[in-house]
């Protein structure tokens, strides 16, 4: 009897232990959490179509409109002048920039002029006898002939006999030989054709200059030009005389320029055209990098948005009852950051900032500024 009772108690304890263990196992099971639906907040704008100006952004380096590359056409030693031949040196119009030693060549020119003078003097008795009517003008020419000055132009010949006589005596050929030598003698001195500044000096005083050698560069610092490359689609939109807003990279200096000319040829490699903007300001320097904003044209019934909002299929997102949708648009112009588009319904609510992972049918929440922020 005792064994039976103990057996029943043991079985009961085992059954109770199994039940307790099963309850403990069931109590440790956790239910799978239900995913929470995330609604992203978006920034929007209400479409108001208007006439949008297309502003083309371009950039480039300034170059002087009037620029002179100095080359030597004769050979000789560079003689020192009144000012040093150094970069940054200013010269007035007509002032000597470079003077090359011409003493040897000057002597040959004087010898040729002396020969011409002697030839004229030798024919004067014959002129007096054979051509008394033209003798006075040739006598006056010979009297005013100065070896230290430029050879004056020969008197006009009024008859064929006079022309044959003087040509036969070698007067005309000697005269043009002298003028040729004088022209070359003038090349030993290079003068400033306008008020400007020397920007490059490749020789120094005392050095031997050779024929064809580059000596330096000379510019007019009062007027500059900016060359910009534009898409060929704007070839017919830019006209000379249009105003252009210019600025430096830091946007700390503003300048006003005008389109001086537009190239009629398109670059076959880049399919762009070159436009030239003329600008005048004392703060400008050659080689300065500037950005230009050219007003190309105006697009009616259009809007301007971030170009990242336009997909590669020419579609943009709109918000309808807190759900994203897409509509097709017509891009007119893409800038560096902005795009001008048309065919957007008036009053549509569009995204004003790109939304990562956006898709049609996505539930969103439109961001609304608080009244406090609006008040501030």
Beginning with the edge strand found earlier in the chain, give each strand of the sheet holding 189-191 in spatial order.
189-191, 96-100, 76-79, 208-209
| CATH architecture of the region 67-101+188-219 | Beta Barrel (2.40)
pTM score, whole prediction: 0.66
Query: Which region among 23-37, 38-52, 113-127, 209-223 has the lowest average model confidence (pLDDT)?
Result: 23-37
Every domain of the chain with CATH number 2.40.50.100 lies at 67-101+188-219
Write the CATH number of the domain with boundaries 42-52+299-375.
2.40.420.20
Q: How far apart are CA 258 and CA 65, in angstroms?
A: 13
Every domain of the chain with CATH number 2.40.420.20 lies at 42-52+299-375
pLDDT at position 215, please?
A: 95
Every domain of the chain with CATH number 2.40.30.170 lies at 55-64+221-297
**What is the average per-residue pLDDT within 91-100?**
94
Q: Which residue has the higher pLDDT, 324 or 4?
A: 324
Which tens digits make up the pLDDT trace of 322-351?
A: 899 999 999 988 877 888 999 999 999 999
372: pLDDT strictly greater than 50: no
Highest mean pLDDT among 200-204, 259-263, 289-293: 200-204
Q: Does domain 55-64+221-297 have CATH number 3.90.1150.10?
A: no
Using alpha carbons, list the distances in angstroms from residue 265 to 170, 236, 261: 53, 12, 12
DSSP labels for 190-258? EE-SSSEEEEEE---TTPEE-TT-EEEEEE-TT-EEEEEEEEGGGTTT--TT-EEEEEETTS--EEEEE
Which tens digits make up the pLDDT trace of 57-80?
A: 888 899 999 999 999 999 999 999
Q: How far apart are CA 204 and CA 184, in angstroms?
A: 22
Question: Please, which pLDDT band fits residue 39 given cuts at 50, 70 and 90?
Answer: confident
Cα 70 to chain centroid, rounded = 24
Rounded to the nearest 5 degrees, what angle is found at the Cα of 372, between the Cα atoms of 369 and 374? Answer: 55
Question: Please, which pLDDT band fits residue 228 given cuts at 50, 70 and 90?
Answer: confident
For the chain, the average pLDDT equals: 87
Question: Please, which pLDDT band fits residue 34 given cuts at 50, 70 and 90?
Answer: low
Q: How far apart are CA 276 and CA 261, in angstroms?
A: 6
pLDDT at position 369, please?
A: 61
Q: How far apart are CA 137 and CA 153, in angstroms?
A: 12
pLDDT at position 32, please?
A: 58
Highest mean pLDDT among 3-17, 86-100, 155-169, 335-349: 86-100
């Amino acid at each position: 009897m005792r064994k039976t009772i103990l057996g029943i108690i043991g079985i009961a304890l085992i059954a109770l232990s199994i039940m307790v263990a099963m309850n403990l196992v069931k109590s440790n099971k956790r239910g799978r959490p239900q995913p929470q639906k995330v609604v992203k907040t978006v920034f929007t704008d209400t479409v108001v179509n208007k006439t949008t100006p297309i502003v083309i952004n371009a950039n480039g380096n300034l170059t002087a409109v009037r620029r002179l590359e100095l080359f030597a056409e004769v050979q000789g030693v560079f003689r020192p002048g009144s000012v040093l031949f150094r970069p940054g040196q200013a010269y007035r119009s007509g002032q000597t920039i470079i003077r090359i030693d011409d003493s040897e060549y000057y002597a040959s020119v004087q010898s040729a002029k002396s020969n011409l003078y002697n030839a004229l003097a030798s024919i004067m008795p014959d002129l007096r006898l054979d051509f008394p009517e033209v003798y006075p003008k040739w006598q006056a020419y010979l009297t005013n002939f100065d070896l230290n000055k430029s050879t004056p132009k020969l008197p006009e010949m009024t008859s064929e006999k006079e022309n044959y006589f003087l040509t036969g005596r070698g007067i005309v050929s000697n005269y043009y030989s002298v003028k040729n030598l004088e022209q070359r003698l003038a090349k030993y001195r290079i003068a400033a054709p306008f008020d400007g500044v020397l920007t490059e000096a490749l020789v120094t005083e005392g050095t031997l200059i050779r024929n064809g050698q580059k000596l330096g560069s000379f510019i007019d610092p009062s007027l500059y030009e900016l060359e910009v490359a534009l898409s060929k689609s704007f070839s017919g939109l830019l006209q000379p005389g249009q105003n252009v807003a210019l600025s430096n990279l830091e946007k700390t200096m503003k300048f006003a320029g005008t389109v001086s000319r537009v190239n009629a040829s398109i670059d076959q490699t880049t399919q762009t055209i070159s436009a030239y903007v003329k600008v005048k300001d004392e703060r400008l320097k050659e080689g300065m990098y500037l950005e230009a904003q050219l007003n190309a044209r105006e697009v009616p019934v259009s809007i301007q948005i971030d170009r990242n909002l336009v997909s590669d299929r020419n579609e943009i997102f709109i918000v309808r009852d807190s759900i994203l949708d897409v509509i097709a648009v017509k891009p007119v112009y893409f800038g560096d950051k902005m795009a001008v588009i048309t065919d957007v319904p008036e009053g549509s609510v569009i995204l004003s900032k790109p939304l990562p992972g956006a898709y049609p049918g996505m539930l969103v929440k439109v961001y609304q500024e608080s009244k406090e922020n609006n008040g501030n």
